[in-house]
């Protein structure tokens, strides 16, 4: 069974959205820290991708999904990007489906993605390929790296 696969070789369901970026909360403990320590902890927290993060319980109920890499000091930006991408994934899939349907409606060309006479064929194929990649859960190198880190660190 490969990484990320459940029983029968099928992809396991991902953690439900919304995902959140970690952040350092101001608590009675954290307010006592010196500036250097606080800055380090703010950076470490910003690299986390979490669910169920609530300030009301000082983050105790959070579940860490992934830890972004610390390449060139951009871990926080990486984590923020992951959170934005994951949280808008379903909306983007729906938009691609609608765009494909719209192109087909405009051209009166339902189910003709392989019609070489259609001037929009390359656009339709590009949209269909992007949609297939999004729906199939194709992992690119950065996603595989995060998956590896998730398994190693948690």
pTM of the predicted protein model: 0.64
Mean pLDDT of all residues in the chain? Answer: 78
Q: Is the pLDDT of residue 152 over 50?
A: no
Phi, psi of 11 (to 5 degrees): -65, 135
- For strands 48-51 and 20-21, give the pairing: antiparallel
Q: Is the pLDDT of residue 83 over 60?
A: yes
pLDDT tens for each residue of 50-78: 999 999 988 899 999 999 987 778 899 99
- Tell me what pLDDT residue 142 has: 40
Contacts (Cβ under 8 Å, ≥6 apart) of 29: none
Higher pLDDT, 47 or 138: 47
The predicted model gives 8-16 an average pLDDT of 74
Give the rounded percent of residues in the chain with a pLDDT score beyond 90: 38
Query: Would you place residue 120 in the very low, low, confident or very high pLDDT band (cuts 50, 70, 90)?
Result: low
Please name every residue paired with 102 in a beta bridge, in sequence order, or none if there are none. none
- Tell me what pLDDT residue 71 has: 72
Highest mean pLDDT range out of 41-55, 83-97, 113-127, 128-142?
A: 41-55
| Least confident among 18-22, 74-78, 94-98, 110-114 | 110-114
Q: In which order are the strands placed within the sheet that holds 20-21?
A: 20-21, 48-51, 63-67
């Amino acid at each position: 069974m490969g990484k990320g696969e459940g029983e029968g070789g099928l992809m396991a369901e991902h953690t439900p959205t919304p995902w959140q970026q970690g952040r350092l909360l101001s608590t009675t403990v954290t307010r006592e820290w010196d500036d250097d320590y606080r800055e380090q902890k703010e950076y470490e927290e910003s690299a986390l991708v979490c669910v169920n993060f609530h300030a009301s319980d000082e983050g105790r109920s959070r579940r860490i999904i992934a830890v972004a890499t610390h390449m060139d000091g951009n871990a926080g930006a990486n984590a923020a990007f992951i959170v934005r991408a994951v949280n808008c994934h379903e909306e983007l899939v729906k938009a691609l489906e609608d765009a494909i349907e719209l192109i087909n409606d405009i051209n009166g060309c339902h189910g003709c993605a392989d019609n070489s006479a259609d001037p929009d064929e390359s656009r339709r194929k590009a949209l269909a390929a992007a949609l297939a990649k999004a729906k199939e859960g194709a992992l690119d190198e950065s996603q595989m790296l995060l998956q590896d880190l998730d398994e190693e660190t948690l």
